């Protein structure tokens, strides 16, 4: 699949019905700029709920952004993780690549990372 079709597919899967506060979107955009070194254009937001064995592991919004890089059509996802233990927020930017091919997959990757981080 080429980058152009990736962008079209993401746009088809991600809608803008419940837009998070502008402040959160700007925080996401800042995280993408810091991580990837370029500007990003919001293309959609998906609400994701991940459960395992009847327990909610994470629920929230995942932003899908098109990165303004030399290779047009690069997509990145970003989400905010609230850490109840330290009462802090972490923002995770992830590039649309490999197994991270949707907002749901981005959320799953962050969930795995967080569980690994807690185990040490």
pLDDT at 66: 94
Confidence of residue 19 (pLDDT cuts 50, 70, 90): low
Tally the domains of the chain: 1
The whole model's pTM is what? 0.79
Domain limits for position 82: 3-119
Q: Is the pLDDT of residue 29 over 80?
A: yes
Residue 40 has phi, psi (to 5 degrees) of -140, 145
Q: Provide the β-strand partners of residue 100.
A: 97
Distance CA 9, CA 113 (A): 26
- Which run of H or of E encompasses 100? none
pLDDT at 16: 46
């Amino acid at each position: 699949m080429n980058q152009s079709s990736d962008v079209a597919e993401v746009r088809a899967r991600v809608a803008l019905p419940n837009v998070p506060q502008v402040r959160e979107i700007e925080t996401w955009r800042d995280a993408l700029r810091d991580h990837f070194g370029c500007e990003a254009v919001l293309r959609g937001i998906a609400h994701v709920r991940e459960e395992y064995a009847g327990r909610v592991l994470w629920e929230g919004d995942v932003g899908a952004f098109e990165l303004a890089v030399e290779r047009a059509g690069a997509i990145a996802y970003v989400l905010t993780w609230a850490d109840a233990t330290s009462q802090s927020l972490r923002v995770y930017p992830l590039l649309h690549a490999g197994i991270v091919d949707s907002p749901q997959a981005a959320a799953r990757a962050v969930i795995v990372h967080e569980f690994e981080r807690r185990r040490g």
